[in-house]
């Protein structure tokens, strides 16, 4: 546990930077939790020797978890726009090296299958970064969700559309009704998983994820069965932890 969101971001950025040197692609997440994480990564990146930055740019490979269906890459509310703004631009990465599902594909289910095949061809995820939804979702794996659910297009819950309404002028009805997400199967196949949880609003759901037996009712609870999972939280999200 770290004291606050800034300290969590700094810890996660350090881990991400090490994972950039890995053989397998990074698994990336979007959302408010990740904004300070990517800002901290950009700071460290700027301090690297020029040669190392060039080498890391040339070798960059990442796959995002999810994307809204119906939003084009050019839409500022898309996760493509988020990752370009918070990661590709500050690190001067070639956006083509940052993969996401195409939210504007005419057949989203076929796009999910194409994306899963592209990830498999790249060897699967090395380090998988995850945020936590207020209803226990990871990526957009809404409850109920089996541990072997694969990359797919699915309807978003009312709870999730409310949680993410901020980016849509505060109106949940404007949040897309569907998304494409990597499944728990692809997430659990990562070499290593980092679940990042900050803020008091996540305390109840985090406690349930850690204390309840793994089940589809809480998709994030499946993560605890992974051999190399780390849950990193700030004091606000885990107030019951001593020290
Ligand atoms: C969203 C995204 C997730 C994200 C999570 C937490 O709906 N699909 O990838 O990690 O929910 O979001 P936030 O960090 O904004 O609380």
Task: Give distance in angstroms: CA of 51 to centre of ligand 1.
Answer: 34
184-194: per-residue pLDDT in tens?
A: 999 999 999 99
List CB contacts of 196: < 8 A, sequence separation 6 or more.
Answer: 8, 12, 29, 33, 34, 37, 129, 130, 131, 132, 232, 233
In which order are the strands placed within the sheet that holds 98-99?
A: 98-99, 62-64, 26-28, 127-130, 192-197, 229-233
Place of tokens 């998304």: 179
The bridge status of strand 178-181 relative to strand 152-155 is antiparallel
**Residues whose beta carbon lies within 6 Å of some atom of ligand 1:** 29-33, 65-66, 131-133, 139-140, 160, 164
* Separation of CA 50 and ligand 1 centre (Å): 33
Q: Tens digits of per-residue pLDDT, 70-103?
A: 999 999 999 999 999 999 999 999 999 999 999 9
Residue 243: what pLDDT?
A: 67
Return the ligand 1 atom nearest residue 30 CA: 9
Q: Which string of DSSP letters, residue by residue, matches 50-70?
A: HHHHHHHHHH--EEESEEETT
Residues in Cβ contact with 11 at an 8 Å cutoff, skipping those fewer than 6 apart: 2, 232
Q: Which of 29, 32, 35 to mutate to test the pocket of ligand 1 (most atoms within 8 A of CB)?
A: 29
pTM: 0.97
Compute the distance between CA of residue 221 and CA of residue 214 in angstroms, rounded to an integer.
5
């Amino acid at each position: 546990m770290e004291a606050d969101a800034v300290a969590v971001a700094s810890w996660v950025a350090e881990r991400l930077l090490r994972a950039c040197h890995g053989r397998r692609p990074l698994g990336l997440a979007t959302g408010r939790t990740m904004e300070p994480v990517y800002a901290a990564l950009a700071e460290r990146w700027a301090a690297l020797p020029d040669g190392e930055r060039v080498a890391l740019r040339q070798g960059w490979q990442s796959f995002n978890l999810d994307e809204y269906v119906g939003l084009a890459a050019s839409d500022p509310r898309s996760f493509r726009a988020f990752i370009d703004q918070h990661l590709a631009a500050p690190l001067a990465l070639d956006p083509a090296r940052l993969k996401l599902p195409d939210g504007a594909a005419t057949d989203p289910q076929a796009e999910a299958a194409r994306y899963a095949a592209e990830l498999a061809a790249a060897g699967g995820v090395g380090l998988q970064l995850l945020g936590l939804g207020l209803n226990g979702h990871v990526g957009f794996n809404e409850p109920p969700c089996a541990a072997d659910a694969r990359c797919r297009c699915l309807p978003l819950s009312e709870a999730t559309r409310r949680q993410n309404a901020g980016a849509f002028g505060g109106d949940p009805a404007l949040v897309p009704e569907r998304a494409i997400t990597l499944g728990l199967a692809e997430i659990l196949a990562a070499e290593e998983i980092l679940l990042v949880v900050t803020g008091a609003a996540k305390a109840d759901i985090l406690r349930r994820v850690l204390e309840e037996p793994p089940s589809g009712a809480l998709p994030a609870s499946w993560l605890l069965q992974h051999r190399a999972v780390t849950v990193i939280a700030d004091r606000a999200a885990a107030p019951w932890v001593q020290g």
